[in-house]
Amino acid sequence: MEFISDIVSLLSATLRISTPLIFAAMAGLFAERSGVIDFGLEGKMLAAAFVAATGSYFLGSPWFGLLLAIVACVSLSLLHGFASVTHKGDQVVSCVAINILMIGLTTALAAAWFGQEGLTPTLNDEQRFFEITLPFADALRPVPIIGTIYSEIISGHYIFVYIAYTLVPIVYWIVFKTSFGLRLRAVGENPSAVDTAGIGVYSMRYKALMINGVLVAFAGAYLSTAINANFFREMSAGRGYLALAALIFGKWHPKTALLACLLFGFTDALQIRLQGVELPIIGVIPVQFIQALPYILTVILLAGFVGKAIAPRAIGQPYIKEG
């Protein structure tokens, strides 16, 4: 029985941990499908986490915090667009700038406003999102298997978790079934053809970046106003990069990117469970190696041992209108 409860909590943790990765990966999908590299997910996630926690603290509701986080992330996305779309600056440099700027600014502003370097005050219950128990979760609990899956694994998460998993089919539908999605993909593959067809390359890329900002804001707000009750320094801990790796490994496709996010989430959940546990034959693995697992996995996945990823063809190249 202990084995089953271990598995159940592991799966439940996987859903929870994958959530910010899914938001960020979907955000990255829009940007990269339109031909704009987004290594800046990490910095935007940090900005969102900081703004959400601060906004919620001052305004008293996590929804206001989320709203402000969206404003912050969309602004950063527009800044990225301003540098790399309008001024044709180097996209990777722009992302690195955003990431470093946000590591510094969030920590420094927390120090200036709250007196503690890189720490915002702990949010009370009203300033924080709460876990949702789905309808009938308690009634279904005794039912074998289905009851356990429903009430122990699926129920009892923050609203972000449910939004994230609903988001994936919606993103799929937008990107592959609507004319907007067709244009988006075309801009990332062959911008000059799209331009010839009378569709603005720049405006498509800006629209993609704005969607990107909205989505990544959810990832950050989830970190600081749902699973944690405050912002702390560099709390994104590389998740922006993991999400991007999941996107690349998922070949810029929502469904496979979701699977990659789940894989990362599972590794991370496993990592937490394995700390200090004595394994047969191997014994206790040093905690530092276990903590490094998601990062090592990222490198292995990116190495493409499971198949080569082909990026949108125009990715990273500024579009220069002729004539």
Partner 1 sequence: MPTLIDKSKVPWWVSNVIVPLVNLMLALFVSGLFIFIAGENPIQAVKLIIYGSFGYIEGFAYTLYYTTNFIFTGLAFAVAFHCRLFNIGGEGQAYLGGLGVFLVAINFSFLPVPIVWLLAILGSVLFGALWALIPAYLQAYRGSHVVITTIMFNFIASALMVFLLVDVIRDTNQMGPQTVSVPKELWFPMFRDITQLFGIKTRYSPLNISFFLAILASFLVWFLIWRTKWGYEMRAVGHNTKAAVYAGISPKRNIIIAMLVSGALAGMLGVNEILGVHHRVIVNFPAGYGFTGIAVALMGRNHPIGIFLGAFLFGILYQGGSEVTFDMPNISRYMFVAVQGVIILFSGALENLFRPQIESFFVKRLNKESSV
* Nearest to partner 1 of 3, 308 (CB atom): 308
* Nearest to partner 1 of 170, 292 (CB atom): 292
CB of 147 to partner 1, least distance (A): 39
Site for partner 1 in 239-278 (CB under 8 A): 241, 244-245, 248
* Nearest to partner 1 of 161, 219 (CB atom): 219
Enumerate the β-bridge partners of residue 158.
131
Out of 145, 308, 320, 323, the residue judged to bind partner 1 by CB under 8 A? 308
What phi and psi, each to the nearest 5 degrees, are found at residue 87?
-100, 5
109 binds partner 1 (CB under 8 A): yes
Contacts of 304 (CB under 8 A, 6+ apart): none
Out of 71, 78, 101, 270, the residue judged to bind partner 1 by CB under 8 A? 101
* Nearest to partner 1 of 34, 99 (CB atom): 99
105 binds partner 1 (CB under 8 A): yes
* Nearest to partner 1 of 91, 127 (CB atom): 91
Residue with tokens 């089953």: 4
CB of 68 to partner 1, least distance (A): 15
Specify the pairing of strand 131-132 against strand 283-284: unpaired
* Nearest to partner 1 of 142, 308 (CB atom): 308
How far is residue 243's CA from residue 215's CA, in Å, rounded to a whole number?
12
Contacts of 46 (CB under 8 A, 6+ apart): 99, 102, 103, 106, 220, 234, 235, 236, 240
Out of 103, 186, 216, 262, the residue judged to bind partner 1 by CB under 8 A? 103
Nearest CA among 131, 160, 119 for reference residue 20:
160
Out of 135, 286, 307, 323, the residue judged to bind partner 1 by CB under 8 A? 286
Q: Measuring CA to CA, how many Å separate 242 from each of 50, 265, 289?
A: 20, 10, 17
Residue with tokens 């790399």: 84
How far is residue 33's CA from residue 31's CA, in Å, rounded to a whole number?
6
> Which positions touch partner 1 (CB under 8 A)?
39, 79, 82-84, 87-94, 96-105, 107-109, 111-113, 117-118, 233, 238, 241, 244-245, 248, 286, 288-289, 291-292, 295-296, 298-299, 302-304, 308-309
